[in-house]
Structure 1
Amino acid sequence: MKTFKQHESQVRSYVRSFPAVFEKAKGSILCDEQGKEYIDFFAGAGTLNYGHNNPLVSKALVDYINKDGIIHGLDKATTAKKQFLDQFYDTILQPRHMEYKIQFTGPTGTNAVESALKLVRMVKGRSNVISFTNAFHGLTMGSMAVTANAFYRDEAFINRTNVSFMPFDGYFGEEVNTAEYLRTFLEDQSSGVDLPAAIILETIQAEGGINVASDKWLQDIEQICRDFDILLIVDDIQVGNGRTGTFFSFENAGINPDIITLSKSIGGGLPLSMVLLKGELDQWKPGEHTGTFRGNNLAFVASRELLSYWENDSLSQTVQNKEKIIKERLNEISNKFPTIDSKVRGKGMICGLKVPLRGFCGDISEEAFSRGLLIELAGAQDDVLKLLPPLTIENDLLQEGLQIIEDSIASVLERREAMVEGLNHDS
């Protein structure tokens, strides 16, 4: 790791959690330079829903490059873009009776969020936006303003005005309906909360601790938007693209967002970021919002191939079946180790184990890595072990990874108990 310590900025993050030099990957397995294999329960923070080096993507990319296909095209018309747009409409939008214009932004999720925020303020002529506790929408200035975590916001010198934070579903426990709480603030002209241009939300707060909004809460928030002439933005960057079992995470709730942001897995591991906006909101002047890498032709090629997974409901059924496997095993693990007071949470193939013991999840992740499993943390206190495997992971690898989690918890508990006994003995 000497090269990275010597040359790369201190801001590097995941390399600290996973201190290995990875050389190759396939499906749900990564391999380091020493040949050690790791099961991937991280999937590029949700970028690799279809696995590493998906064979459909690899073949299509090699063929495209060998034919001298356009690599960089700004927002010019290209064959790759045309084929992607047609396929996305035919496979995703039309079967769901959804009519959206598609805007390609800069290559990452935060670029899509920035574009959405800029657009809603322009369309509505209002500056305020409502976001929620534990929200994460990106780390550029506009996106950071609607991100709640103080770790990212502190000393960033962002403009903290023009955003109001409200409690997410379940923030005060089941006894408080936070949608009605929000409605009360909007109805009261002395509440100090200005009428917003938009409400932005994640249906599942992934980075925020795998907090799952109920269908009823999402429906209530949508109704509030309609009642007060507010636009609804759903940030589906991490939990869209099939992560919950449906292509969009909000489908089961039956809501109809005005704007949807997509990135991460939509590009099949390559940078691609999109804003889906209703036609009446497409009020941009040509070139009013630009970006050198707005539309990645290699990602268009990759994504078009991966959209084939959504030509039937096979992948959706697979995700639902694997959700059962994951939750059953996590509940078994939680019951086996009652002293850690863990709670299982999640939906589809984004699940977590919340452990209130300080630093415990970090110790589990570290131990799991030593045993050949990549798994990261979530929540403001890093107190949720976050399971985010590729949707295409084989059942035996999934079970093997879950067993590593169980073994890692047992090992960490054993070490902690030995440490306590040693301190008691010394005293």
Structure 2
Amino acid sequence: MKLTQTLEAATADGLLAAVIVETVQGEGGIHPARPRWLQALAAWTREHGALLIADGIQMGCGRTGPFFSFEPAGIVPDTICLSKSISGYGMPMALTLLRPQYDVWRPGEHNGTFRGYNPTFVIAARAQETFWEGASLPERTAALGERIHTTLTSSAQRCGLPAPRGRGLAWGLPVNHPGGARQVCDAAYRAGLLLETAGPNDDVVKLLPPLTVTERQLEHGLSILDDALTGAAKRRELAA
């Protein structure tokens, strides 16, 4: 179903308040949204008076290269959710960014049981100053992402797997055989590499190396993954 048809169906029974979108799906299997698709979605929400909320919790904060994963599409969401690496040191922190006209809360009005953790604020501020002064981090992330793409593509072709998907330092390698992704991740774990599975049926090997990974560490990790894939292919654990 086309995007416009899906959205029109969603508004058939009344007004639609907002659309929440992952510009790069994470747990869904690493699916980067096409820029034209995101542009069409942004235009539709503006036309119908709905808010566009971008979920950048996993794929924001430089994970895909630019600070926001939607930047290549040139869109500006109404609300942006951020977390994960925003703190710069693994401490718990989350941010919600919104357009000024939607900031209707008076001081102390919107409360809950969550409170800011002071060391995290200090470290997060320093992380933004350290990593986001200039373009060195986005450029480095993009370059490392190309290296991952090249290596994964070679491994996939040799093992008869679909092409990898991703951007920057977020990649997924689909494995069509049931349980195949888990077999690969388990083999990699035994060799010292932590990987995740993703996708609706845990059918994608998911790579999320830290943004501060060194070239040597990345090459070592990719070598372990390639060995795990090769071994699984020989054991016919990747065959459809």
Report the TM-score when normalising by structure 1.
Answer: 0.53
Question: Which residue number in structure 2 is paired with residue 302 of structure 1?
Answer: 123
CA distance in structure 2 between the aligned counterparts of 1:285 and 1:396, rounded to whole angstroms: 50
User: How is 1:336-375 mapped onto 2 (pairs within 5 angstroms)?
Assistant: 336-338=158-160, 341-375=161-195
Question: Which residue number in structure 2 is paired with residue 252 of structure 1?
Answer: 72
CA, structure 1 residues 183+413, in 2 after alignment: closer, same or farther (shift >3 Å)? closer
Alignment counterpart, residue 9 of structure 2, candidates 171, 185, 189: 185
2:60 aligned partner, one-letter code: G
CA distance in structure 1 between the aligned counterparts of 2:175 and 2:162, rounded to whole angstroms: 5
Compute the displacement of 1:285 (Å). 3.9
User: How is 1:153-302 mapped onto 2 (pairs within 5 angstroms)?
Assistant: 178-185=2-9, 191-192=12-13, 194-268=14-88, 269-302=90-123
Unaligned runs of 5+ in 1: 1-175, 418-427
Compute the displacement of 1:262 (Å). 0.8
Q: In terms of Rg, which structure is larger?
A: 1
Deviations 1:136-159 (A, max 9, x none): xxxxxxxxxxxxxxxxxxxxxxxx
Unaligned runs of 5+ in 2: none
Compute the displacement of 1:347 (Å). 1.1
2:93 aligned partner, one-letter code: L
Runs of 4+ in 1 over 3 A off after TM superposition: 285-288
CA distance in structure 2 between the aligned counterparts of 1:241 and 1:375, rounded to whole angstroms: 20
Q: Which has the higher contact order (CA 8 A, sep 6+)?
A: 1
1:298 aligned partner, one-letter code: P
CA distance in structure 1 between the aligned counterparts of 2:20 and 2:231, rounded to whole angstroms: 41
2:42 aligned partner, one-letter code: E
Report the TM-score when normalising by structure 2.
Answer: 0.93
1:336 aligned partner, one-letter code: R
Compute the displacement of 1:183 (Å). 4.3
Moved more, 291-300 or 263-272: 291-300
1:280 aligned partner, one-letter code: Q
SS of the equivalent of 1:275 reads strand
Deviations 1:226-268 (A, max 9, x none): 1001011101110000011101111111111111111111112
The alignment status of 1:396 with 2:216, answered yes or no, reads yes
CA distance in structure 2 between the aligned counterparts of 1:412 and 1:254, rounded to whole angstroms: 41
SS of the equivalent of 2:235 reads helix
CA distance in structure 2 between the aligned counterparts of 1:384 and 1:253, rounded to whole angstroms: 25
Deviations 1:293-339 (A, max 9, x none): 3322111111111112111000111011101100000000011112x
2:73 aligned partner, one-letter code: A
Deviations 1:33-79 (A, max 9, x none): xxxxxxxxxxxxxxxxxxxxxxxxxxxxxxxxxxxxxxxxxxxxxxx
Aligned residues: 235
Compute the displacement of 1:411 (Å). 1.7
- What is the Cα-based RMSD across aligned positions, in Å? 1.6
CA distance in structure 2 between the aligned counterparts of 1:323 and 1:416, rounded to whole angstroms: 29
Do 1:329 and 1:402's aligned partners in 2 also have CA atoms closer than 8 Å? yes
